[in-house]
Amino acid sequence: MATVHNEAKKGDIAKVVLMCGDPLRAKFIADNYLSEVTKVNQVRNMFCYTGDYRGKKISVMGSGMGVPSMGIYVHELYDHYDVDTVIRVGTCGSFSKDVKVRDVIIAMGACSDSNYASEFELNGTFAPLATFSLLDIANTVSRSMKLDYHVGNILTSDVFYHEPNYSYKKWSNLGVLGVEMETYALYLKAAKFNKKALTILTVSDNLETKEETTSEERQSSFNKMMELALEVAYLDD
């Protein structure tokens, strides 16, 4: 059943979906890692492709930027398309000199400055987490790939351009590894629908050291992250 944001029919989207903020990154994964690929959605240019990875049907789709956009698309995947697992493949800024540019972060949990969880009318603050089985697979595969990676907490922020007096150190002092803009919504929706979710990120810049990746370095690092995510998707059952 199509939605106002997704023209795919029931069965067009696989049970396991990789989600990228940038729809063109979804296209890159489909073009370079999947075979027998079909584009199943292009509404608002939020591309979704379904193909074969080592004999397993996998879809890859854009999510757009920010909590609201991720919330819409992942809600529909879980609720309308019977997707079981969503793995976010994205980038983040690091809060620590020990979490270097080009390192991979596997997000165990997500803090947030967003008000997104207010829709659940909870009498407290909900701490959304990754699905442990996916986290465990990602940890094992990362070791086998000999990646420079970290497992821990991240911050999902609604704000990209902060005011001059903003300090990320309040988060880093609590052990938060870095910042991005979508995972909090992904993990909340996974909890709501009792589905599986994991975020895998490449550090593209470091707020502490001011180091940034070049375009060539980002391409190489992103490939490692994509390959890790695909292996996790393949091993997910």
In the block, residue with structure tokens 């998707």: 233
What single letter denotes the amino acid at residue 161?
Y
Find, among 234, 226, 231, the residue nearest to 19 by Cα: 226
22, 52, 79, 205: the active-site residue: 205
| Neighbouring residues of 146: CB distance < 8 A, sequence distance ≥ 6 | none
The CA distances from residue 138 to 56, 57, 66, 157, 218, in Å, are: 18, 19, 24, 24, 20
* CB atoms near residue 35 (< 10 Å): 10
What single letter denotes the amino acid at residue 1?
M
Find, among 112, 102, 87, 105, the residue nearest to 29 by Cα: 87
What single letter denotes the amino acid at residue 3?
T
| Neighbouring residues of 163: CB distance < 8 A, sequence distance ≥ 6 | none
User: Helix crossing, 183-193 with 67-79: angle to 10°?
Assistant: 30
Q: Is 205 a catalytic residue?
A: yes
Active site residues: 205
